[in-house]
Amino acid sequence: MSDKMTTKKVIENVTDFMEAISALQKKQKSKHDCFFYRGLLSASYDLRPPLFRREDYPAKEKLLMQELLSRQAPAFAKDKTMFERLVRAQHYELPTRLMDVTDNPLIALYFACADWKTGQAKIEKNCNGKNIEKNGKIVIFCQERQNIHYFNSHRTKLLSNLAQLSQTRTFRQKRTKSSRYKRQYNIFSSNNSRGHQAS
């Protein structure tokens, strides 16, 4: 993501937010026609799929998925593809290679402002013991429509099915944990996409 551009802007209200989004879209419209958003509750939050947030998770991916499928078989019975299984596995809080984004900036704003488990604003205590609201962050991905890969594309199917490979087999295919992650992560951000942040 060498062409990643980071712009920080303090947002005080929804009007400020929508004006900032509109200005960014106008500025980027000549290069990109699709915008995706991810709201993060903390500005310091790790912008990686859950599977890659801990070093030991990728090696356990196949086992974690098999155990979940064994325990919750009826819930996954209608899923026809591995991608569908990964989407459902996220609802069971299994760390997957997927990272949720939305095409609606207001949904991202909600996730940047409220704890998704409680729906309440995230409050922390500062060093003086006073309650302070945590600063969230919105990450904006800009992409050309021709580079979007939908749920039924060959590329999506291929990447989703990596979850079924054992770590040993993946290494035999000349991948390391690091390069495996970087290759998958860069697919979304390749082709001159830009990530923008508003916090």
Q: Is residue 7 part of a domain?
A: no
H-helix or E-strand containing 103? none
How high is the pLDDT of residue 179?
A: 57
- Name residue 123's beta-bridge partners: 133
Pick the range with the lowest mean pLDDT from 26-35, 55-64, 83-92: 26-35
Pick the range with the lowest mean pLDDT from 65-69, 114-118, 161-165, 181-185: 181-185
In percent, how much of the chain has pLDDT > 90?
Answer: 35
Token pair of 78, please? 């209608």
Per-residue pLDDT band for 88 (boundaries 50, 70, 90) equals very high
What are the tens digits of pLDDT across the range 100-115? 999 999 999 998 887 7
DSSP-derived secondary structure letter, 33: S
Q: Which residue range forms the structural domain that includes residue 175?
A: 14-197
Q: Is residue 1 part of a domain?
A: no
More confident residue, 92 or 178: 92
Mean of the per-residue pLDDT values of the chain: 79
Domains: count for the chain:
1
Q: Is residue 30 part of a domain?
A: yes
Q: Is the pLDDT of residue 172 over 70?
A: no
Pick the range with the lowest mean pLDDT from 58-72, 91-105, 106-120: 106-120
Q: Is residue 36 part of a domain?
A: yes
Q: Is residue 181 part of a domain?
A: yes
Q: Please compute, for residue 179, the number of CA atoms within 13 A of its CA located in the half-sphere on the CB side.
A: 6
Q: Is residue 163 part of a domain?
A: yes
Q: Is the pLDDT of residue 186 over 70?
A: no
What are the tens digits of pLDDT across the range 140-152? 998 888 888 888 9
Q: Is residue 120 part of a domain?
A: yes
Look at residues 162, 151, 153 and name the one whose alpha carbon lies nearest to residue 185: 162
What are the tens digits of pLDDT across the range 41-53? 887 788 899 998 8
Q: Is residue 8 part of a domain?
A: no
